[in-house]
Structure 1
């Protein structure tokens, strides 16, 4: 007669099923859908990617604001103003 394991002790299959469930839940949190396409991205990597994307967007916004500021400053210079008024006349 085979030895019976206690019911409260998890088997290897139970542990694997639980690990798969945890991965699926983490993937659902990150992707917002049940089944991700491709590999499941670990949370640390997902956070790093999100941080990089947000940093890039912030940097682009800062660059755009700096360009706008420099353009306005350049338009205020006396030489540019004189050239613009000469064009209008």
Structure 2
């Protein structure tokens, strides 16, 4: 349903708390940046030029990628 697709992402930690507000960028900007940096492995300066966005926007997304890297790594296995 359209209502679900168009609903803003929210961690729901408090009323009117939206992910895009917390991040400071909307997903319409973040998604293409991620696509070029992660999927296409494009250099940041070329991604900025390709998308017509600032280097600051690119670096902000890169920082978020680096700060959340631990969430994408497998958990350590304890040898018994």
Report the TM-score when normalising by structure 1. Answer: 0.24
Which protein is bigger by CA-based radius of gyration?
1
Report the TM-score when normalising by structure 2. Answer: 0.26
Give the structure with the larger helix fraction. 1
Higher RCO (C-alpha 8 Å, min separation 6):
2
